[in-house]
Every structure is written in C-alpha cells, then in structure tokens.
Structure 1
Amino acid sequence: MRARLDYMATLPEAFKPLLKLSDLAHNSGLEPAIVNLIEIRASQINRCGYCLDMHTKDARSAGETEQRIYGLNAWRDTPYYNQRERLALELTEVLTQIALNHVADEFYQRLLGAFSESELVKLVTAISTINMWNRFAITFQSDAGSYKTEHFVAQTALEKTH
C-alpha cells in the first residue's frame, strides 16, 4: 500500500490542534499505559495499520510488555490488565464504535467508581484523538512501518511553523 498524500503537509494548520490534543492525552496525568492501550485498541478496531505500528512501537519503548500488547485484542479474556485499564478499554470500544453503542448509565457509574470526572474527560479526549488520527491515516493510506522517520520529520516541520 502506498500513501495517497501527505495530509499533514497539505494542511498543516489543521494538525497543530490535533498534535496538541495528542500531547495533552499523553501528558494529562493519566497512567501512560492506559493512554498507550487506548491508542492501540482503537487502532485495532479501526484497522489502522499505520497507527498500530506507531503506537505499539511507542508502547514498547515506554516499557509495555509484548504479552499485554499481543493480548489486547482479547483483553476481556486475559489477566494482564487492571481495573482502570479494563474500564478504559471498554470505553475505547464503546466510543470507537459509537454508532453501535452508547455509554449506558450503569457503565458510566462504573467509570465514576474508578476515575474522577477530570480523568473521564481526559479519557474521552485520548479516545477521540486517536480516532481522529486513525481516520486521517486510513483515508490517506499512511505508510505502515514508516513511523520513527516520516512522523518525526512532519511533526518537527509543523512545530517550526508555529
């Protein structure tokens, strides 16, 4: 598969806020493992090869285990994730497939039992952000496997323009 176009270079002003949201998600105070798991799980659901490549590499470099990454698609059936991670993964699935699901009152109450209101907003921000990235990468067929080269060059170029 070959990239259709470099969307970040085509309209860089559109990606400054998205890059800021990504930065916010990663520096929000949520456990880094939760943010990494959210990004991988949403990318699995959306079948985004580029983002799967990126976020599994980032998670591994942050210390995530291969076992937890490999088991993520079956997180309900494995013992590798704690309660907060499980709830974050469930919310990721609900929001990533929002047309099929809604956040039921019972589920929302379970979320409030494990996360503060501020943390819930941070979770929804992280989930929404990766879903936006997935949609760009899928539409324009970003080159899976190229992360650590093109991404940093494009991000550095965007940062220099603001």
Structure 2
Amino acid sequence: MATVTTNTDAPNETVPAPEQRLRMPGLAPDFYQAMIAVDRASRQGLDPVLAELVKVHASMINGCAFCIDMHATDARKNGEQDHRLVSLPAWRESPWFTARERAALALTESVTLLTQGHVPDAVYDEAAARFEPAELAQLIALIATINAWNRIAVSTRMSPAAK
C-alpha cells in the first residue's frame, strides 16, 4: 500500500493512501483503450495549456486527486505557472486568467456540475464568443472526457501516491 506524507499536527506522520479498488486497463482493456483514444481526440486543436487548465479545474470540482496531480504536472510541463494553478478554485477573483480562459473555466463548471442548472445560455454564449465553433466543440469534448476520467479514477480510487 502506498503512503502519503501529510502536513497535519505531526508533519512526519504518514497516512495510507486509499487502496485502489479496480485496475481498469487489465479488467476492461477495450474500454480503457477507447477512453485513451477519446482523450487524444478531445484535445485536438486546443491550446495545451488551456486544455490542462480545464482538466485540472474539472478534477478539482470532482475531487479527483489522481487527475489533479496528473494534469497539474502536465500543465507545468507545458509552461503553466503554479500561481495560476493554485488560483483555479478562485478564478473569478483572480487576475491571472484571460477572458478566453475564463469562458472555458465557466463552461467547465457548468458542464461538470450539469445537475446544478445545466449550461446557462450566458455561459454558453460567452464561450461561443471566445472560441470558433470547431474549438468550442473540442472544448466540450475535452470537458466531457475529463469528467469521464474523473469518474473512473474516483470510483476505482486511483491515487497519485501509487506512482
């Protein structure tokens, strides 16, 4: 079992990482390979930094530690800065994001939290004003895909500590 170090009352104390329930690649290999293909297709034509911001933000909303860790790491590799990553939960109050990124983040929230008001026209219209139709379609595909990955990782208890 993997362990992670926590910074609580006893900073040197280790806490066991959650035990992974299933390993999807071996148990549902065709599905898993299809998800990888969908993931690859969903990113086409999108700026890699924007794509990783969207993935980190959706993963934060969904509480997916595995995906937050993976996509924050990927974002940094693409040149993203830490202060922007840690500001994602407060992107509306942060000066670090462009109008285009804000439209993508708002759309990410609406699609991710679909049962909380669906996707309001104002959110969709702002995204449509900032992205060409093909880009907007890819952005929606990316948001849907990361939400699927989050559900896989959370339900099977994938852990970033298992690296």
8 Å CA contact 1:25–1:35 kept in 2: the answer is no
| 1:92-131 superposed matches below 5 A | 92-131=108-147
Range with greater deviation from structure 2 (13-22 or 83-92): 13-22
Partner in structure 2 of residue 15 of structure 1:
32
1:40 is aligned to 2:56: yes
| 1:4-83 superposed matches below 5 A | 4-26=21-43, 28-83=44-99
Q: Which has the larger radius of gyration?
A: 2
- Deviation by residue 1:78-111 (Cα, 9 ceiling, x = unmatched): 1111111100000000000001122222332222
- Spell out structure 1 runs of 4+ moving beyond 6 A: none
Q: How many residues align?
A: 146
Partner in structure 2 of residue 155 of structure 1:
none
TM-score by length of 1: 0.86
Structure 2: how far apart are the matches of 1:35 and 1:133? Answer: 14
8 Å CA contact 1:53–1:145 kept in 2: the answer is no
Letter in 2 for 1:5: L
8 Å CA contact 1:41–1:92 kept in 2: the answer is yes
Structure 1: how far apart are the matches of 2:127 and 2:66? Answer: 30
TM-score by length of 2: 0.85
Q: How far is the alpha carbon of 1:51 from its aligned partner?
A: 0.6
**Identical-pair percentage:** 36
- Deviation by residue 1:41-92 (Cα, 9 ceiling, x = unmatched): 0000000011111111111111110011111110001111111110000000
Partner in structure 2 of residue 134 of structure 1:
150
Q: What stretches of structure 2 of length at least 5 have no aligned partner?
A: 1-17
8 Å CA contact 1:35–1:126 kept in 2: the answer is yes
Partner in structure 1 of residue 161 of structure 2:
145
8 Å CA contact 2:22–2:156 kept in 1: the answer is yes
Letter in 2 for 1:59: A
